[in-house]
Amino acid sequence: KKLLDALSGPVQSILETGERDSWASIRRLYRRETEHIILTFSDSLSEYELDQTTSVEMVLELREHARCTVVKKAREEAGNILIRMKGRFSTVLSHDKDLMPRTWIANEDIHAITREARLAALRLMSVMAAVRLDDKPDKIDRALMVSLLDGGPLCWKRSIEFTSDPLASTTWQEVSPQDTLITPVQCKSIWRQFKAETEYPVAQAILMQEAHRRSNNSLPPAWTILVLAILGFNESMFLLRNPVYILGLFLAFVLSYAVWLQYDIWAYFRHGTVSGLITISSSLLPTIMDIVTAIINMSHRKKHSLHRSRRALPYHAQSLSNQSHQHAEVHYHASPDTPSSVDSSSGSDS
């Protein structure tokens, strides 16, 4: 129980890091904890007055149990090697050395970062490939890099170090079968699956970088602007001398933009260019006709209202003149100082 608690968790933690000195750290941990517990166990056995042979056998049994604990934990981690490799690849790809999330700006070298992430995953598989408690040198790391890391600096050494494909085998050189956790053939198969499942995040990073580059490069190159200015000088002067054409272009742009927003033209091309053109041609003509009809009706209504206002103006002036004339007559006949009324009154008296 003490061996299990002292070795299981720390061994798993060391293997998850996947560093070059992982097995060296495991060996130090294994020897330190095993010797400490065996010493405690031997002190406890001395109280039972057992013979030397029995005590030695029990100590060897305990030492073997410590080794089996390390090997069992290593096999468990080797069974999850693909998950561990994808996690390591994702961490290196999406985070920088300070473990800050990467922003895929234009100056990021995606090819170099992807190679670094794959190298980290490959080293993790190299650590998990075999048990190395005996501190014997092996060529597992070199064989994996030469065979699997495409375009690596060690590829030219293939013909020097290895007479054939080092992964076309079921055993590793200088590693016993009982210490083998992942065979060379299994390593090749796992790497093929790993590359297939990690292509998507790399493609996404490339797309994000291209989108960032396009957003920052909204203007064309300087030489393009210069060529356009030289070749389009005559056309520019023609437009400046004829402002009506500029107004026409502006109206055409406004009309086109309104049609684009109203009918979501971009959505028509998602299923293909031909189908998009057919859909637009079938719906664009009626739309243009409706807009032209609406403009004509508005102009007709405006002209009609103007004509009615012009006709109503003389009639209003004539009615106002008649009203003033009638008012003057009424005022004349109603005045008490007129001579006719005086004469008539005097004649009747006489």
pLDDT tens string 215-246: 766 666 778 878 878 888 887 788 778 888 88
* Same domain as 178, residue 39: yes
Query: How many C-beta atoms surround the C-beta of residue 190 within 10 A?
Result: 18
The runs of H, that is alpha helices, within the chain are 2-17, 22-45, 52-79, 81-94, 110-128, 140-148, 158-161, 184-197, 199-216, 222-231, 233-241, 243-263, 265-268, 273-333, 339-349
Q: What is the mean pLDDT of residues 75-104?
A: 90
Take residue 182 and report the two structure tokens written for it.
């992942």
**Nearest of 59, 84, 56, 63 to residue 3 by alpha carbon:** 63
* Same domain as 163, residue 179: yes
Please give the single-letter amino acid code of residue 201.
Answer: P
pLDDT value at residue 126: 92
Does the structure show a pLDDT above 70 at 140? yes
pLDDT value at residue 135: 80
Q: How many domains does the chain have?
A: 2
Distances (CA, A) of 200 to 88, 127, 258: 15, 26, 38
Using only the alpha carbons of the chain, give its radius of gyration.
48
Residue 48 counted as domain residue: yes
* Same domain as 122, residue 32: yes
Render 300-318 in DSSP notation, one character per residue.
HHHHHHHHHHHHHHHHHHH
Does the structure show a pLDDT above 80 at 337? no
* Same domain as 47, residue 174: yes
pLDDT value at residue 115: 92
pLDDT value at residue 343: 45
* Same domain as 227, residue 144: no
Residue 340 counted as domain residue: no
> 34 burial class (0-12, 13-18, 19+ CB within 10 angstroms)?
buried
Give CA–CA dist 174/157, Å, rounded.
20
Confidence of residue 74 (pLDDT cuts 50, 70, 90): very high
Residue 62 counted as domain residue: yes
**Nearest of 115, 106, 91 to residue 206 by alpha carbon:** 106
Parent domain of 235? 220-269
Q: Specify the pTM.
A: 0.59
**Backbone φ and ψ of 172, nearest 5°:** -95, 145
When comparing pLDDT for 259 and 147, which is higher?
A: 147
